[in-house]
Structure 1
């Protein structure tokens, strides 16, 4: 198996792309961590309410991530050819879809928040708190969709530093306003869970303002398209876009819906289980930042090489990324296992039962972490970066809907297992995904030039 470990250009490109993305993801995850730490002090009902209400945002954000990454397949390959005209057209499609989806999710959260919360919980207090949070934070959805589109496109054109800087500012803005509005400091009203929602909304507004300023104030930025340039499509162009991008969009939408159903299954176990899962997700996001940065770097680097018609180099890159992802995943899994008690010390006012449940969930995550890291690079980095979007869609859909979701509800509702055992059952989807995906990587059938004839 050929690798690129002796190629200095490989590591130079890897670091220049992955490091800013990792830092951006770390900052974004730290925002979530900070929210959770602050809300923990309000009680397990508030913690469960925010975690469950944010499943709506999670479903939306992962779906638009699918739109943005589906578009980035084209943008990375067009950037390999330095074709800026078509980059702007693809970005325009991405922005349009993200905005339309954002409007749909916002209207749902504004007008039927109680019905949405009842899907997740029967706890009246959790439902009421979740409704309060959802109505405010939903206003940020469209803004987030636009930010996502520009940020992912920036990475695909080698501008990974900009999204990182934006995330730093967003983190600081969110942290300050969360502190002021949750607890009522420096003369601001004490809003509790509503304060967390307003903090998020303010941070998103600041975020999009900086992104637009950066892109349109720099002459020659490949993403600085006019409305006319970004909507200069014909039917043939749109058909070719959706032929490659729809599997990614559908994949992310259905994968995230499956993950939302995991949360429904966990919440059926009880409010304490829902609160523990919110802690788990927060810690998982922190530990996944490096692996996500690696996967995104893989998408860009593999896509660039295929677009430049250097397919053998793209295969060598893919092999290298697989080895790195497994090694990194094992290291982080061991670290999580050894530091689970220290991590939980950051979460204040946990009851002994919630502490014990959260620790067992972290141990389950630690055991399966290496395979999660590998699968992220395999699906997002290699298969999608290589243009093999249909196979990656079928792989993830089968793993989630034929393995993960059935096992989650069997464990929670039929066998009535504790939440940490249900979480372990859900991780079986990762095992299936790796077993089916590895032969596809070895076959090299994933190498596809998607921009031919566009």
Structure 2
């Protein structure tokens, strides 16, 4: 019995069961993706604070492009899910092909630019000569890894939306194991090799990303040759399809890209507080990566289920699933908030940092736990429900207005003008979440977020073959 038949009963328990089956491999894959950066930080962190800061600066810079790529994957997954709801396989191939074209060009330009402008980019975040020297080779290697990462991200989002979530998980598990082993060998110089430190971490990450991409492509080719044929799907695309696709797709890319840029800008402001502040931010980013890997997996699973239903025009069922998802999200948010608050002192002990830095780290982690429930609600509402329901323009406006007109100005004022402490600045960054939740709740209740994007793009109600 497939997922749709099980869920036709509209029972909450059934929904949780199916959601869990879809979400589990996605969560595992997200956790592993996050762990690639975390393992770098943990293993390099045993060397010293400058190494942690160097890795942190590069990861914060790379996160901007990562958000663009994740937005690309998210948009691809949304359209694939809706097309899959009506089994429009030709439009799925077109969607994946266009996503690859956009992602391939963007990742190539980003990688070349990051390599050529490595030092100017690093100097935006830090003026510490030791940190800049350590980060030079690392940023170049990590920038190169964005090319295979983009390929993996697009295919992972697409393949999950057609009920093959285990493929990305297997590829990511293999990449994590490979990255960990290579980190140990290259960072510390095992088996007679010279210790490479931060550079070794970069090499390990690049090799792991390439391996992840190749494994995923081989598994997809074996499992579904039609999906793999998306590489040549560009030949099927006509101007009408591409124009409508771009109109619907660009708000997702713009939203995630500018949201990531705003986050990076906030880190640039915080970097003015010194190397210690960057160390704390790096630790917080690692923890946040784990937490949002979990809720991100749940949001992706919610998006698949709701996207399938919206694609079929099942508006009432989509609303029921949305309500179920919010209840589950709130419960998970409470659990995570309590767990982070309690474990914050132990997390700080994992890193080789000074006592003063440790105290600030614990305080920041505990303060960060306070708005987690609201953050989770916002994430699942925007990404898992409204965006998968086709409400891409509203989500873009809400995300950008709150981030750029609330978070960025408050962080700038807190650091540059008011000279506040790092824990206080972290709390200022959370103000936007409490503003955003009010608008999201009203939008959810209005049902205006339910839009069938695939009808507009493929024109299937009129003449799908003419597109």
Q: Which moved more, 1:170-179 or 1:428-437?
A: 428-437
- Establish whether residue 115 from structure 1 lines up as the match of residue 120 from structure 2: yes
413, 423, 437: which one aligns with 1:420: 423
Instruction: Give the alignment partner of residue 335 of structure 1, picking from 324, 327, 339.
Output: 339
| Equivalent residue, structure 2, for 1:372 | 375
Cα contact 2:80–2:158 (8 A) shared by 1: yes
What is the aligned partner in structure 1 of residue 363 from structure 2?
A: 360
Q: Does 1:262 align with 2:266?
A: yes
Tell me the equivalent position of 2:139.
134
1:16-46 CA deviation, whole Å, 9 max, x = no partner? 2111111111222222222111111221111
- In structure 1, the residue matched to 2:5 is none
Residue 189 of structure 1 is matched in structure 2 by 194
Structure 2 distance, partners of 1:245, 1:312, is: 25
In structure 1, distance between residues paired with 2:225 and 2:383: 26
- 1:440 — aligned with what? 443
Conservation of the 8 A alpha-carbon contact between 1:4 and 1:320: no
Q: Structure 2 length normalisation: TM-score?
A: 0.94
2:96–2:230: 8 Å Cα contact kept in structure 1?
A: no
Alignment check: 8 A CA contact 1:45 1:125 kept: yes
The equivalent of 2:100 in structure 1 is 95
Question: Matches of 2:191 and 2:319 in 1, distance apart?
Answer: 56
Give 1:424 shift: 0.5
Does 1:276 find its partner at 2:305?
Answer: no
CA distance in 1, matches of 2:299, 2:263: 20
Contact kept, 8 Å, 2:266 with 2:408, in 1: the verdict is yes
Cα distance in 2 between the residues matched to 1:436 and 1:4: 31
Equivalent position of 1:382 in the other structure: 385
Render the CA deviation track for 1:123-177: whole Å, top value 9, x for unaligned: 1111121112112222111111111000111111111111111110010011001
Correspondence 1:48 to 2:23: no
Q: Is the 8 A contact 1:35 1:178 kept in 2?
A: yes
1:208 is paired with a residue whose SS is helix
Deviation sequence 1:279-332 (CA, Å, 0-9, x none): 011011122232111111111111000112211111100011111111111111
Is the 2:310–2:451 contact (alpha carbons within 8 Å) kept by the matching residues of 1? yes
Match of 1:34 in 2: 39
1:85 to 2:90 alignment: yes
Q: Is the 8 Å Cα contact of residues 10 and 317 (structure 2) preserved in structure 1?
A: no
The answer to whether structure 1 residue 165 and structure 2 residue 170 are counterparts is yes
Counterpart of 1:322 (choices 304, 326, 332) is 326
Match of 1:154 in 2: 159
Match of 1:299 in 2: 303
Q: Structure 1 length as normaliser, TM-score?
A: 0.96
For residues 244 and 380 of structure 2, what CA distance do their matches in structure 1 show? 25
Count of residues in Structure 1 that have an aligned counterpart in Structure 2: 450
Matches within 5 A, 1:58-77: 58-77=63-82
- State the distance in 1 between where 2:239 and 2:217 align: 28
Over residues 208-266 of structure 1, what are the superposed CA-to-partner deviations in whole Å (9 max), with x where a residue is unaligned?
Answer: 11011011123x44421154324421111011111211111000000000010111011
Q: What runs of 5+ residues in structure 1 fail to find an aligned partner?
A: none
Deviates more, 1:135-144 or 1:82-91: 135-144
User: Could you tell me whether the CA contact under 8 Å between 1:91 and 1:149 is conserved in 2?
Assistant: yes
Which residue of the partner structure matches residue 250 of structure 2?
246
Confirm whether residue 216 of structure 1 aligns to residue 221 of structure 2. Answer: yes
Q: Contact 1:183/1:191 (CA < 8 Å) preserved in 2?
A: yes
* Displacement of 1:8: 5.0
Contact 1:69–1:152, Cα closer than 8 Å, also in 2: yes
